[in-house]
Chains A and B, each alone.
Chain A
């Protein structure tokens, strides 16, 4: 462990590599977390299947890539397919748990996560996959920092998608309806908003966002049927750390998580990369609790 830290201090360029990799991958985390924050904030559904939506989106892009369609073109298809899939999941499952207690939605989506992970495993096999984008890999600082072009493209696409979603939420009719429903579903219904449709759209939009994030992850990183739970936990870490309705917070927490994960993996060893994520989740929850305890007051 100390050896690895001394590498970082002796050769600062390694830090650049870690930070860049962390930012590129963190952008996709932030995207998926934004979808979770949306569903959580609007519908109060804790979607544990979030990570499996991401991985499914990745497999769609990867599979299309194998059929000869470039994964960057696969991404829009993945978005559309996942939008439909999300709508379907809403109609079959989420609609029935939405007004039950919170643990119900957590457990129902967990069951969904198990089904999806296993379905992917049966369809595509348990191997770790990457969608080949065939872009150049550039090196800087005497080849000690390498940046693949696809990572830059993915980073830019994450930004574009985030802006599109934000503009959509701000300006479109449906975006306004979603925000109104989030504020007060009953009042929204009185005003003539079909909240059921709004919920369906929100959930489908979340799935579509996950599809986009997954397609990008399949190009710049790796996908595997059972990596879903890791992505779900990342999204939960980010949203609990940032709080929903706080878009800049989600972006910062997402990028930060990406960087921290890279550092955790490098300093402590690759086998600690997963542990870093779940460790961070626990740390965030405990930290939030200490915060809340400070706000609590003793009645004299």
Chain B
């Protein structure tokens, strides 16, 4: 791992900083790419490192989006009045109001989502294996349906975010870098987390939860903290994404269980779950594949996505990183005993 990751740091950093200036036409698409990287990394904290495969992590993306929307609106307007007017009344935000609202909204989104994860984790973490996957899927679907009936936040009609005070280019540039920083922060957090005792503890939970508990690891606490950490970053990404689209709608934008919710699983698996770089590589590859099929095979993109998941799961379960590790173990610091390998 050590010999591998620094070689990728620099090119990715250069690409990330230069991209909006060199290819300004696709700034938003690349911003979404960073959100995807964040998705895959946060999914992998549970799915890869802890062995809890969640199909409903998108819940925290949506909750972050709604929390930041409500915070941003409620600071300077009445939310009920704002949603009821649905854009008819023009709420004018000054620059200062907008940026204060955005900053506080993003932070509140992260913290609120983390708290939500802790609350839900208390009940959900009793479920193991596929039950956990189905249970989280159920919670994410319920959240979308319920938000769609809550008129205070605009129900199915949705909620318009405050309008960015400035040019469209300025907006995409600012949110591009916010997304980029969020992804970098997530990466740094994950790489730090996996190098601590905490990382070892959640790996122990993945390998054998009963034994981990017998060894004195308070598994529920570790699981809850890990999910809250993932939810924190997901909440922030939701807040940013909501501001990019400028409009929060429950089923398609905030809780897209069948799109983003599945993408994050597919990306981690494609790259190789349980590794630090797997989700990142998976996200980058997946995003380009997705943009390609969405552009050239419109209508068939879902078939392509489903087939990708099936082929990935059935034939290529170890993912890109897992395959590389099998192929070149020495490059990952794994010492192969030649004598034993030959036998």
Binding site for B on A (CB under 8 A): 46, 93, 96-97, 100, 102-104, 106-108, 110-119, 121-122, 229, 233, 236, 240, 269, 271-272, 274-275, 278-279, 281-282, 285-286, 289, 292-293
> Contacting A107 at CB < 8 Å: which of B123, B127, B145, B313?
B313
- With A275-B146, A275-B149 known to touch, is A93 a contact of B127 (CB < 8 Å)? no
Closest 10 CB pairs of A and B: A111-B309, A115-B306, A114-B306, A275-B145, A118-B302, A289-B126, A111-B310, A281-B138, A278-B142, A278-B141
Binding site for A on B (CB under 8 A): 53, 55, 123, 126-127, 129-131, 133-135, 137-139, 141-142, 145-146, 148-149, 156, 258, 262, 265, 269, 299-300, 302-303, 305-310, 313-315, 317
Bound Cα distance A280, B314 (Å): 31
- With A103-B129, A269-B149, A285-B135 known to touch, is A110 a contact of B142 (CB < 8 Å)? no
In the complex, are the beta carbons of A110 and B303 less than 8 A apart? no
Bound Cα distance A236, B133 (Å): 12
Bound Cα distance A49, B173 (Å): 41
In the complex, are the beta carbons of A118 and B303 less than 8 A apart? yes
> Contacting A271 at CB < 8 Å: which of B141, B149, B300?
B149
In the complex, are the beta carbons of A112 and B310 less than 8 A apart? yes
Please, which residues of chain A bring their CB within 8 A of the CB of B55? Answer: 110
In the complex, are the beta carbons of A293 and B129 less than 8 A apart? no
In the complex, are the beta carbons of B314 and A108 less than 8 A apart? yes
Please, which residues of chain B bring their CB within 8 A of the CB of A272? Answer: 145, 149
Q: How far is the CB of B163 from chain A (nearest CB, A)?
A: 29
Please, which residues of chain A bring their CB within 8 A of the CB of B139? Answer: 278, 282
Q: Which of A274, A278, A279 has the most CB of B within 10 A?
A: A278
Q: How far is the CB of A119 from chain B (nearest CB, A)?
A: 6
In the complex, are the beta carbons of A275 and B310 less than 8 A apart? no
In the complex, are the beta carbons of B133 and A106 less than 8 A apart? yes
Q: How far is the CB of A137 from chain B (nearest CB, A)?
A: 31
- With A122-B299, A271-B156 known to touch, is A114 a contact of B130 (CB < 8 Å)? no
Q: 14 A-B Cβ contacts within 8 A?
A: A93-B314, A104-B317, A106-B130, A110-B309, A111-B310, A114-B302, A115-B307, A118-B302, A122-B303, A229-B258, A233-B141, A271-B145, A281-B135, A286-B123
In the complex, are the beta carbons of A233 and B303 less than 8 A apart? no
In the complex, are the beta carbons of A282 and B310 less than 8 A apart? no
Closest B residue by C-beta to A296: B126
Closest B residue by C-beta to A230: B141
In the complex, are the beta carbons of A282 and B303 less than 8 A apart? no
Bound Cα distance A186, B303 (Å): 37
In the complex, are the beta carbons of B306 and A285 less than 8 A apart? no
Please, which residues of chain B bring their CB within 8 A of the CB of A110? Answer: 55, 262, 309
Q: How far is the CB of B336 from chain A (nearest CB, A)?
A: 25
Please, which residues of chain A bring their CB within 8 A of the CB of B129? Answer: 102-103
Q: How far is the CB of B76 from chain A (nearest CB, A)?
A: 31
Q: How far is the CB of A115 from chain B (nearest CB, A)?
A: 3
Closest B residue by C-beta to A117: B302
- With A102-B129, A240-B131, A285-B134 known to touch, is A107 a contact of B299 (CB < 8 Å)? no
In the complex, are the beta carbons of B306 and A112 less than 8 A apart? yes
Q: How far is the CB of A278 from chain B (nearest CB, A)?
A: 4
Bound Cα distance A289, B128 (Å): 10
> Contacting B138 at CB < 8 Å: which of A102, A114, A117, A233?
A233
- With A104-B313, A104-B317, A278-B138 known to touch, is A285 a contact of B127 (CB < 8 Å)? yes
In the complex, are the beta carbons of A115 and B138 less than 8 A apart? no
In the complex, are the beta carbons of A107 and B138 less than 8 A apart? no
In the complex, are the beta carbons of B314 and A96 less than 8 A apart? yes
In the complex, are the beta carbons of B126 and A108 less than 8 A apart? no
